Amino acid sequence: MDELRQITRKRKEAYTWFMAHKSKSYKAIADMEADVYPDGAMTRKNKELMATAIAVVINCQSCMQWHIEEASKAGATVEELIEAIDVAIEFAAGPATVAARFAMDVIKDVYGEDA
């Protein structure tokens, strides 16, 4: 849990520091987040579940922590988070199947079509 607290502390420190130093890109990201996550055609909860899944796929620990915390605040259940993570796990495996198709073509080329 200390690692999670450290990530939170560092995220807050970075936000404060970059904003105080007038980072245009950091502010743009913060503004975009404020614009994207409120309820719209999709609920904030669903957006946070999507963000959690994406964070798992790209292996961004700080993103996972933030979006799981935000999903919780938006009413997401543990079961919903697990399902979002399950989707991420399945999706992350998808590129391996694409690579496997290429490997299959190479094997067929090297060993013959009936390999």
> Are 45 and 29 contained in the same domain?
no
For residue 18, give its domain range: 1-36
69 has a pLDDT exceeding 80? yes
Mean pLDDT of the region 85-111: 89
pLDDT in tens, 9-44: 999 999 999 999 999 999 999 999 999 999 999 999
**% helix / strand / coil in the chain, to the nearest 5?**
80, 0, 20
Residues 50 and 91 in one domain: yes
For residue 99, what is the domain's CATH number?
1.20.1290.10
Which single residue is written with the structure tokens 């620990």? 61
Q: How many CB atoms lie within 10 A of CB 43?
A: 15
If asked whether residues 56 and 74 sit together in one domain, one would say yes
Query: Is the sign of the CA dihedral 92, 98, 103, 108 positive or negative?
Result: positive
Answer with the residue of higher pLDDT: 96 or 5.
Answer: 5
pTM of the model: 0.83
pLDDT band at 95, cuts 50/70/90?
confident
Domain count for the chain:
2
Residue 109 and residue 77 share a domain: yes
